[in-house]
Amino acid sequence: MSSFDVVVIGSGPGGYIAAIRCAQLGMKTALIEKYDSLGGTCLNVGCIPSKALLDSSEHFHHARHNFETHGIELTDLKLNFKQMMQRKTEVVEQSSGGVSFLMKKNKIEVFHGLGSFVDAHTVQVKPAKGKAQQLQAKHVIIATGSKPSALPFIEQDKKRIITSTEALSLSEVPKHLILIGGGVVGLELGSVYARLGAKVSVVEYMDSIISNMDRELGRELTKVLKKEGIEFFTRHEVTGAAVKGKTVTVNAKDKAGKAVSFKGDYCLVAVGRNPYTQGLMLDKAGISVDEKGKIPVNEKLQTGVDHIYAIGDVVRGPMLAHKAEEEGVVVAETIAGQQPHINYLLIPGVVYTWPEVAAVGHTEEQLKEQGIAFKKGKFPFRASGRARASMDLDGFIKVLAAKDTDEILGVHMIGPRAADMIAEAVTAMEYRATAEDIARMSHAHPTYSEAMKEACLAATGNRALNF
Amino acid sequence: MLEMKVPTVGESITEVTVSQWMVEEGDLVEMDDVLCELESDKATFELVAEQAGKVHLMAAEGDDVAVGAVICTIDTSVEVAAGDKAETKLPEAAKKAPQEEQKEPVVKTAPPSEPTSHAAGHPSPAAAKMMQEHQLSPQQIKGTGKGGRITKQDVLEALNAGVAPQQIIAGSRQFSRVERREKMSRLRRTIANHLLKAKNQTAMLTTFNEVDMSAILAIRKQYKETFREKHGVNLGFMSFFTRACCVALQENPAVNAIIDGEEVIYHEFCDISIAVSTPRGLVVPVIRNAESLSMAQLEAAVKELAVKGRDNQLSLEEMEGGTFTISNGGVFGSLMSTPILNAPQSAILGMHKIEERPIAVNGQVVIKPMMYVALSYDHQVIDGKESVTFLVRVKELLEDPAGLLLGADPVEMLLEL
């Protein structure tokens, strides 16, 4: 039996990053992956392929709607959906290949097969074909991630009623895509198909889309996406869905309780994700999951069994790749005897629609609820020279700062490249910077990031310069 | 809007320290609620709300505030309903913070050298990790970043300078190099200034003698029970020493005198300062006209002052003045010491522990319960002859307590001359 200092189960961004950090710290490390390609949901059926399609569809959208304004005339603009999907597959393959390379480079032994506990120190790997083998582990890191949630009253045939996984590999552009759930995953994929010409209807139970983010972001995003032709039905409770031939009918109750129905050719169920621990045989290691299926961990991400850790989507906190990565590093360093720490408040949330949505820290609603006195500075992109040049006039940056100290408490942005720009806010908040601190730092002109400076000026004392 | 000002607490007090807030910013208070605890040079006292309303704090814990300065305001337009008081609209987080600070006043009072900001002592992510691993707290590191933030380099430098973990982890090395920085309390600062002044502004020296305590021990042994039954206090050593000193002081007035500029003030009374160790530090309350008090009255006075000192109940009046001081280091086991003057007084008697020692009596070695006594005095007013005479006289009176019973001159006392 091979024995390892650390056995990591799951090769998603949490798992493979944990494995690399363990190897860097001199530990003999094994990585177990059930699927053939490494990288988990993120690389294979999540962040990366969706971004590939978002970028492709955005180009198409620009070509169709904006090129003319730029003075570029196209005749015979045509969508080659197959090629678009092909490119996406190549991106995924390259990324996954990159992870394999990193495993080799760091001398991490990769085992393909279903990992499961035999006992607290033994993990079995059962490949699809061939014999199972057992690995002896001083430490185990569970990084098995999550799967899309299903609604109990809707049967997903994975052809017409699909999850995000299938939505990334459709063979055609839907004519009418009905989206159940106005969260991040649904809106990103809905955007892809809306840009490619599909009619998209979003049916959302809450009164707003991206309802866990600052309310103003949801409002602004609704406004922009409506312009792209996406229809929103908020406060609609889906009651069922059925497939008949090529038609999907989704039944719902509207806010008045009246029954309504939507007919389309595809229905994407994007109502969140569930932690995935199936087949792990956690009980053999002495670990049980909570009522939500998550593995309980302490602040060092230790399970009830000291030498077994769990990270990413299988534990509490937002299901985000970058959160899992941070946790992977923390666990590796903790095993090595170091004492790293994660400030969960400062893990940014991002939505890759266009305009992008990104946020970090407290929302306005949270601050009000907690009774914290705050100031608000908002700068709209329509006042940004850079945004005018690129025709990205939608959105804004909103900075919330403590009334007494001016310390930045939350930054909420919707606009071009917001996902990249949120990093500045994270840095500022890690150092507990004040709005005026950022306002006094030079931001290159003309850039989108100037909007951050202007919003901070506005928060400091209502003295934005360009608005 | 009612302004709460620091009240006048004593003639010589111009400034006090806010030692603890009992209310938080925005709290609703009722009239006579305690707002804060203030500490003066000599005593601690509470400030109470003069009216009901919403409090706005204008000084932080550890701040020095002048007498008469506004320390907080009370918005009397806010109505305080019964039961409303505890429930304020402060957020949980904001509520917690000041409480934690109360537990660790060190955090609050450690004066950062940089201008303070809300982020003073806030470590960068890399610095935070390093601090965690070396068990360092922000108080142990000088933050050189903007607004007093702690940079990675700050932690490295602290480690190079040998700053050691705050707590010892179980199983690690069982010795510690912990150092703690605390702001000196106002009382401690006063004591420090006082003592340094005494040392620097006097020509201080010490004369020693030793006392055979056999007689006093015999009296105590014989009359202990009776004395307690009669007077309700224990017969200790302080009454004997105080009385002996009063007699010797009246015979040697220079020892009971005080220099005032180019003049010397002689006292016909003996106000004896008794050094009392309290949780807050050393205080020296005064027994007035000690020469006029009986043994039982002296014991009662000493006991009262000691109890008040222990409970922080001593008033300023009780600590002001005094013409001579008695300090008993013997209770802690001191064999011999040179006490330091309690300025502006000119002399202080140091008592020490009683120890059985072989001594020569009439050519024979005998074992006696002996105590060294020390008299530190200011040579500016007191000559060697007087100081030694004083101490010898104290020794004689203690070894033969009969002299104590009558005082300086029985005839004079009798005739009230």
| CA atoms lying within 13 Å on the CB side of residue B239 | 22
Residues B229 and B377 in one domain: yes
Of B107, B133, B148, at which residue does a domain stop?
A: B107
Integer Cα distance of A306 and B378 in angstroms: 69
Q: What is the CATH number of the domain that holds B91?
A: 2.40.50.100
Angle among Cα B38, B101, B159 to the nearest 5 degrees reads 120
Integer Cα distance of A68 and A61 in angstroms: 12
pLDDT of B171 reads: 44
Partners of B25 on chain A (C-beta within 8 Å) are none
pLDDT of B172 reads: 44
Residues B87 and B117 in one domain: no
Residue B406's pLDDT band (cuts 50, 70, 90): low
Q: Reduce the DSSP state of residue A290 to 3 states and report it.
A: coil
CATH architecture type of domain A2-62+67-147+274-344: 3-Layer(bba) Sandwich (3.50)
Residues B403 and B271 in one domain: yes
Residues B386 and B249 in one domain: yes
Strands A237-244 and A231-233: unpaired
Q: Is B133 on the interface with A (CB under 8 A)?
A: yes
Are A405 and A433 in contact, with CB atoms under 8 Å apart?
no
A163, A375, A448, A450 from A379: Cα distances, Å: 37, 14, 11, 10
CATH class of A355-461: alpha beta
Number of domains in chain B: 3
Residue A433's pLDDT band (cuts 50, 70, 90): very high
Integer Cα distance of B238 and B398 in angstroms: 11
Chain B closest-CA separation from residue A417 CA (Å): 25
Q: What is the domain extent for residue B46?
A: 2-107
What token pair was written down for A431?
């150092």
Residues B13 and B137 in one domain: no
Partners of B129 on chain A (C-beta within 8 Å) are 338-341
Residues B228 and B166 in one domain: no
Integer Cα distance of B117 and B312 in angstroms: 35
DSSP-derived secondary structure for B300-327: HHHHHHHHHHHTT---HHHHS--SEEEE
Say how many C-beta atoms besides its own lie within 10 A of residue B112's C-beta.
15
| Phi and psi angles of residue A2, each rounded to the nearest 5 degrees, phi first | -75, 145
Q: Which amino acid is at B156?
A: L
What token pair was written down for B268?
């016909």
* Continuous H helices in B252-409: 295-310, 316-319, 384-399
Residues B169 and B68 in one domain: no
Of residues B415 and A113, the one with the higher pLDDT is: A113
pLDDT of B89 reads: 43
Q: Which amino acid is at B417?
A: L
pLDDT of B411 reads: 53
Q: What is the CATH number of the domain that holds B288?
A: 3.30.559.10
Q: Is A104 on the interface with B (CB under 8 A)?
A: no
Look at A74-83, A136-145, B17-26, B39-48 and tell me which has the smallest mean pLDDT. B39-48
Are A187 and A221 in contact, with CB atoms under 8 Å apart?
yes
Residues B212 and B229 in one domain: yes
* Active-site residue (options: B64, B84, B383, B409): B383
* Cα-to-chain-centroid distance, residue A108: 27
Contacts of A465 (CB under 8 A, 6+ apart): A454, A457
Residues B265 and B360 in one domain: yes
Q: Is A427 on the interface with B (CB under 8 A)?
A: no
What token pair was written down for B333?
């086991």
Question: In terms of pTM, does the model score above 0.80?
Answer: no
CATH class of A161-271: alpha beta
Of all residues in chain A, the one with the smallest CA distance to B132 is A339
Give the residues across from B354 on adjacent strands.
Answer: B371
B207, B270, B328, B394, B404 from B339: Cα distances, Å: 10, 19, 10, 17, 24
Residue B193 belongs to a domain:
no
As a whole number, the mean pLDDT across chain A is: 95
Closest CA to B280 of B56, B58, B19, B12: B19
What token pair was written down for A202?
């979003």
Look at A230-234, B32-36, B169-173, B282-286 and tell me which has the smallest mean pLDDT. B169-173
Residues B394 and B370 in one domain: yes
Q: Reduce the DSSP state of residue B83 to 3 states and report it.
A: coil
Residue B192 belongs to a domain:
no
Minimum-distance CB partner of A370 among B93, B132, B145: B93
Of B82, B107, B132, at which residue does a domain stop?
A: B107
What token pair was written down for B259?
């220099």
What token pair was written down for A173?
């552009």
Residue A1's pLDDT band (cuts 50, 70, 90): confident
Angle among Cα A461, A462, A466 to the nearest 5 degrees reads 130
What token pair was written down for A447?
């850039």
What is the dihedral angle through the alpha carbons of A362, A368, A372, A378, rounded to the nearest 10 degrees?
Answer: 60
Minimum-distance CB partner of B118 among A371, A372, A407: A407
Integer Cα distance of A210 and A396 in angstroms: 16
Residues B211 and B298 in one domain: yes
Terminal alpha carbon distance of chain A: 68
Asked if A161-271 and A355-461 have one fold, the answer is no
To probe the interface with B, which of A346, A432, A441 has the most B CB atoms within 10 Å? A432
Q: Which residues of A are catalytic?
A: 445
pLDDT of B186 reads: 79
Q: What is the CATH number of the domain that holds B117?
A: 4.10.320.10
**Domain range annotation of chain A:** 2-62+67-147+274-344, 161-271, 355-461
Residues B97 and B128 in one domain: no
